[in-house]
Chains A and B, each alone.
Chain A
Amino acid sequence: MNANPPINDAILQVEHLSMKFGGLVAIGDLSFRAKRGEITALIGPNGAGKTTVFNCITGFYKPSEGMITLNRSDGSSFLLERLPNHEIPARAKVARTFQNIRLFSGMTLLENLLVAQHNKLMKASGYTVLGLFGFSSYRKVSAESVDLAKHWLEKANLVDRADDPAGDLPYGAQRRLEIARAMCTGPELLCLDEPAAGLNPKESLALNELLMDIKNNSGTSILLIEHDMSVVMQISDHVVVLEYGRKISDGDPKTVRTDPRVIAAYLGVDDEEVETVLTEVGDEEVIEQLDTGPDSAHGPGNSASMLAGPVSDTVGHSNGGERVTVEKGAGKADRSGPRAPDERQSTDKSGGRK
């Protein structure tokens, strides 16, 4: 098993991945690796192609080019771009959640988690035949599956609501339930698409705890898309930054957050993030770099340069603990509510188009 340690070290290898929609290059020649047992974060501005990468990994899209290799801990490897959609969770043990939550809203929490154990239960029920006659072997596995579901409900802090419909849960709880459901498939790699989007600070904290718990206790590696920089910086071991479908930075959180290209990308595209990033960074070196103006090759030049002035003001004030918003982005920065609605559309489209 250890004959080739570098390969087994990485649970997921993405090599020269490209995805084109008509003329649009959503992902261009992307290569990265996710290490086993780590949390790898995939970040980037809206429309950078993060969800598209997930859809390629989990088989919802067939990539135009490239190779996605998944190495399971038992030594077997799978080329994910060749597996049919539903076999990726079943055989390669990759589970995912969706940017716009996709629960079975009319089914109870427990049922949601039982559906996730479909393949195991199906086999135990002798493809329905044995189960129909109530064989005891099936009943045993069925009871075990309820126990597993209960285990994850407890981890997600939802066990009190086990018999309520999933659609009745508050947003943060739905996110946790979706993660619990994905974990019930027994994955080796868990792909989470913006799990913290639209959560309030308390829910966000509960989410972080759940993710750390998964990382430390279940042996599942995590690939995470996240907009919330605090989540990324706190919990991830490795960060890959995308912009316009290309990788612009790759490394541990510290190197990435001081990478001028990353800052430029965030400044250039989404002024809402400026404040967050800079508060996170609070780094003299970066501020100097910003003063010289971001690289105009990345992102619309004009909005970036317009922001360059006020931005450094913001840093100065927020270091003093006071929150002063950037003038131009004031309206947007005030909008602290869920970011989900405008993004929901984009994934509804990408999810339903298969």
Chain B
Amino acid sequence: MAAIVTPESDTVAAPMQRALREAFYAAVIALGLFVLFIGLKTDQNIKNELILVQRWGLLAAVVIITAVGRFLYVGFGQPAIERAKARKAAAPAAVAEPGFVSRNFNKIGITALVLYPVAIVALVGLQGSLKWVDNFGIQILIYVMLAWGLNIVVGLAGLLDLGYVAFYAVGAYAYALLGTHYGLSFWILLPAAGAMAAMWGVLLGFPVLRLRGDYLAIVTLAFGEIIRLVIINWREVTNGSAGISGIPKVTFFGLMSFNVSDPNYIGKVLHIATSSAYYKIFLYYLILALALFTAFVTIRLRRLPVGRAWEALREDEIACRSLGINTTTTKLTAFATGAMFGGFAGSFFAARQGFVSPESFVFLESAIILAIVVLGGMGSLGGIAVAAVVMIGGTEILRELDFLKAVFGPDFTPELYRMLLFGMAMVIVMLWKPRGFVGSREPTAFLKERRAVSSSFTKEGHG
């Protein structure tokens, strides 16, 4: 009876055999699945007849890729993962001292952001910098700011808000309408837009914050849609789906303007060549300042009693009430503060685009902002910024990938796959780091030393 194989030797000695077997099964399944999907294609010929195009080559390629992928995963990927796990289990106590980069992450990040336009202009010149500063820099920073604003509501107070874009819309339309009709300057309307969004936050909050969890999420979602529909249908004021154009540009605190025709055009004042890049660079620094202001206020608020009450609310609402905290006003302040930053971002957005229409404020925007907050790690400013760079930067960079056309044919438009990649990235990140990029939480006060709180103790909130 020497032929008895112990279970251990089975798994250790025969991973290759098993990998081959698994690869074969995968190939069979792939063949079965794709023979009709890929192998055959219906098409119309010149006489408008339906014909079957046979694509056996492509089918074979897909099946082979599947089999090889499965073989590599089972044969090499899985054992490697197991080994890494075993190694981790063997040495659990060795917590790595945070390296230079992670210790000074914030400083390095802010310095990089401040130097970014300078570096870009130096690299590709004024005209070439337009795309990089506008499409990447400003676009990403708007989302960073929005996500940081929503983070107050979702990450700190634990209130799931699916209609955040409504406040963004309120801010944008506040600036667009007041700016075009009354010619008020951006610097007056920025706080006004924030205040107006905060006011809407409170108005929405009053009836809604009695609800918790799923119900709150649904009602905030509905609120977002209501605002959008009001904007579409209230034509006399908002000009409906046609939107509002000709929104005045931001001036350099009234000292310089960015309109070529104005006497105090920046080029004339500083005696430099006319270029539209100045405005973009100015906007970049403006949104950077606004975003940093959001971060600064959030950090400050977290250490104040309100901020602590928000987090306590996320942890346990009933305990909060037993300690004499008025949970309704606490939730309202979280809602209003988050909404205010949404309003700021909205007025900036209107000023940057020079045009607003309801299409910019669809539910998808709320979902993307929320996704960034969740991916980054609820409550963590650094993680959220990284998530925004990855998500928004990643989808923007798809526009740049022209070489993909060479691979997939000339009518391949990578932008169309934006949402697919966005979703895939989310799934992968959530599997790899279920609590987002930065799962741990910084305590707001300490007696002896500040130690991050592991995410296994924090809660997400129920409402």
Question: Hey, which chain B residues are within 8 Å of A105, CB to CB?
Answer: 315-316, 457-459
Cβ of B446 within 8 Å of any chain A Cβ, yes or no, is yes
Question: Hey, which chain A residues are within 8 Å of B308, CB to CB?
Answer: 107, 111, 114-115, 118
Q: Which 7 A-B pairs have the closest CB atoms?
A: A106-B458, A89-B324, A90-B324, A167-B457, A104-B315, A121-B305, A102-B319
Task: Please name 7 pairs of A and B residues whose Cβ atoms are closer than 8 Å in the assembled complex, sorted by A.
Answer: A102-B319, A105-B315, A110-B446, A115-B312, A122-B305, A125-B304, A163-B446
Centre residue among B318, B451, B455 by max chain A CB count within 10 A? B318
Cβ of A291 within 8 Å of any chain B Cβ, yes or no, is no
Whether B323 and A116, one on each chain, are in contact in the complex, defined by CB atoms closer than 8 angstroms, is yes
Cβ of A132 within 8 Å of any chain B Cβ, yes or no, is yes
Whether A95 and B448, one on each chain, are in contact in the complex, defined by CB atoms closer than 8 angstroms, is no
Q: Which of B290-311 contact A (CB under 8 A)?
A: 297, 300-301, 304-306, 308-309, 311
Question: Hey, which chain A residues are within 8 Å of B453, CB to CB?
Answer: 106-108, 165
Q: How distant is the Cα of A114 from the Cα of B308 in the complex, in angstroms?
A: 8
Q: How distant is the Cα of A102 from the Cα of B453 in the complex, in angstroms?
A: 18
Cβ of B445 within 8 Å of any chain A Cβ, yes or no, is yes
Question: Hey, which chain B residues are within 8 Å of A117, CB to CB?
Answer: 305
Whether B323 and A98, one on each chain, are in contact in the complex, defined by CB atoms closer than 8 angstroms, is no
The chain A residue sitting closest to B452, CB to CB, is A165
Q: Which of these, B304, B449, B451, contacts A131 with CB under 8 Å? A: B304
Cβ of B245 within 8 Å of any chain A Cβ, yes or no, is no
Cβ of A168 within 8 Å of any chain B Cβ, yes or no, is yes
Q: Which of these, B300, B306, B441, contacts A122 with CB under 8 Å? A: B306
Cβ of B9 within 8 Å of any chain A Cβ, yes or no, is no
Question: Hey, which chain B residues are within 8 Å of A352, CB to CB?
Answer: 318
CB distance from A119 to the nearest CB of B (A): 5
Centre residue among A98, A111, A121, A166 by max chain B CB count within 10 A? A111
Q: How distant is the Cα of A203 from the Cα of B449 in the complex, in angstroms?
A: 27
Tell me whether A115 and B323 are in contact in the complex, defined as CB-CB below 8 angstroms, given that A132-B304, A162-B447 are known contacts.
yes
Whether A163 and B451, one on each chain, are in contact in the complex, defined by CB atoms closer than 8 angstroms, is yes
B residues near A (Cβ < 8 Å) are 297, 300-301, 304-306, 308-309, 311-312, 315-316, 318-327, 333, 441, 443-451, 453-459
Question: Hey, which chain B residues are within 8 Å of A163, CB to CB?
Answer: 443, 446-451
Q: How distant is the Cα of A154 from the Cα of B381 in the complex, in angstroms?
A: 34
A residues near B (Cβ < 8 Å) are 58, 60, 85-90, 95-96, 98, 102-108, 110-111, 114-119, 121-122, 125, 128, 131-132, 146, 150, 159, 162-168, 181-182, 185, 351-352, 354
Question: Hey, which chain A residues are within 8 Å of B454, CB to CB?
Answer: 165
The chain B residue sitting closest to A186, CB to CB, is B324
Centre residue among B305, B306, B453, B454 by max chain A CB count within 10 A? B305
Question: Hey, which chain A residues are within 8 Å of B312, CB to CB?
Answer: 104, 107, 115, 118
Question: Hey, which chain A residues are within 8 Å of B444, CB to CB?
Answer: 111, 114
Whether B324 and A86, one on each chain, are in contact in the complex, defined by CB atoms closer than 8 angstroms, is yes
Centre residue among A58, A107, A131, A185 by max chain B CB count within 10 A? A107
Q: How distant is the Cα of A181 from the Cα of B320 in the complex, in angstroms?
A: 11
CB distance from B352 to the nearest CB of A (A): 28
The chain A residue sitting closest to B319, CB to CB, is A102
Q: How distant is the Cα of A20 from the Cα of B449 in the complex, in angstroms?
A: 50
Question: Hey, which chain B residues are within 8 Å of A162, CB to CB?
Answer: 446-448
CB distance from B282 to the nearest CB of A (A): 28
The chain A residue sitting closest to B318, CB to CB, is A351
Centre residue among A106, A108, A114 by max chain B CB count within 10 A? A106
Q: How distant is the Cα of A103 from the Cα of B457 in the complex, in angstroms?
A: 11
CB distance from B81 to the nearest CB of A (A): 29
Q: How distant is the Cα of A87 from the Cα of B297 in the complex, in angstroms?
A: 29
Q: How distant is the Cα of A287 from the Cα of B333 in the complex, in angstroms?
A: 62
Question: Hey, which chain B residues are within 8 Å of A115, CB to CB?
Answer: 308-309, 312, 320, 323, 325
Q: How distant is the Cα of A88 from the Cα of B326 in the complex, in angstroms?
A: 11
Whether B311 and A104, one on each chain, are in contact in the complex, defined by CB atoms closer than 8 angstroms, is yes
Q: How distant is the Cα of A111 from the Cα of B306 in the complex, in angstroms?
A: 12
The chain B residue sitting closest to A146, CB to CB, is B445
Q: Which of these, B318, B323, B443, contacts A181 with CB under 8 Å? A: B323
Whether B445 and A111, one on each chain, are in contact in the complex, defined by CB atoms closer than 8 angstroms, is yes
CB distance from B271 to the nearest CB of A (A): 40
CB distance from B195 to the nearest CB of A (A): 15
Whether B297 and A132, one on each chain, are in contact in the complex, defined by CB atoms closer than 8 angstroms, is yes
Question: Hey, which chain A residues are within 8 Å of B301, CB to CB?
Answer: 128, 132
Whether B315 and A106, one on each chain, are in contact in the complex, defined by CB atoms closer than 8 angstroms, is yes
Q: Which of these, A60, A132, A146, contacts B318 with CB under 8 Å? A: A60
Whether B457 and A125, one on each chain, are in contact in the complex, defined by CB atoms closer than 8 angstroms, is no
Question: Hey, which chain A residues are within 8 Å of B297, CB to CB?
Answer: 132
Whether A104 and B443, one on each chain, are in contact in the complex, defined by CB atoms closer than 8 angstroms, is no
Q: How distant is the Cα of A117 from the Cα of B315 in the complex, in angstroms?
A: 17
Question: Hey, which chain A residues are within 8 Å of B441, CB to CB?
Answer: 106
Question: Hey, which chain B residues are within 8 Å of A58, CB to CB?
Answer: 322
Other than A131-B304, A351-B318, give 10 A-B pairs with Cβ distance below 8 A. A90-B324, A102-B322, A107-B311, A110-B445, A110-B446, A128-B333, A163-B443, A163-B448, A181-B323, A354-B318
Question: Hey, which chain B residues are within 8 Å of A131, CB to CB?
Answer: 304-305
Whether B459 and A106, one on each chain, are in contact in the complex, defined by CB atoms closer than 8 angstroms, is yes
Q: How distant is the Cα of A87 from the Cα of B321 in the complex, in angstroms?
A: 9
Q: How distant is the Cα of A58 from the Cα of B449 in the complex, in angstroms?
A: 36
Question: Hey, which chain A residues are within 8 Å of B327, CB to CB?
Answer: 86
The chain A residue sitting closest to B333, CB to CB, is A128
Question: Hey, which chain B residues are within 8 Å of A116, CB to CB?
Answer: 323
Q: How distant is the Cα of A88 from the Cα of B323 in the complex, in angstroms?
A: 9
Q: How distant is the Cα of A87 from the Cα of B316 in the complex, in angstroms?
A: 18
The chain B residue sitting closest to A91, CB to CB, is B324
CB distance from B312 to the nearest CB of A (A): 4
Whether B446 and A108, one on each chain, are in contact in the complex, defined by CB atoms closer than 8 angstroms, is yes
Question: Hey, which chain B residues are within 8 Å of A110, CB to CB?
Answer: 443, 445-447
Whether A98 and B322, one on each chain, are in contact in the complex, defined by CB atoms closer than 8 angstroms, is yes
CB distance from A157 to the nearest CB of B (A): 15
Q: Which of these, B319, B443, B446, B456, contacts A103 with CB under 8 Å? A: B319
CB distance from B268 to the nearest CB of A (A): 39
Question: Hey, which chain A residues are within 8 Å of B457, CB to CB?
Answer: 105-106, 165-168
Whether A86 and B306, one on each chain, are in contact in the complex, defined by CB atoms closer than 8 angstroms, is no
Centre residue among B300, B308, B319 by max chain A CB count within 10 A? B319
Tell me whether A102 and B305 are in contact in the complex, defined as CB-CB below 8 angstroms, given that A107-B453, A163-B448 are known contacts.
no
Question: Hey, which chain A residues are within 8 Å of B320, CB to CB?
Answer: 86, 115
Tell me whether A114 and B445 are in contact in the complex, defined as CB-CB below 8 angstroms, given that A168-B457, A351-B318 are known contacts.
yes
The chain A residue sitting closest to B322, CB to CB, is A96
Q: How distant is the Cα of A271 from the Cα of B305 in the complex, in angstroms?
A: 48
Question: Hey, which chain A residues are within 8 Å of B324, CB to CB?
Answer: 86-90, 118-119, 185
Question: Hey, which chain A residues are within 8 Å of B305, CB to CB?
Answer: 114, 117-118, 121-122, 125, 128, 131
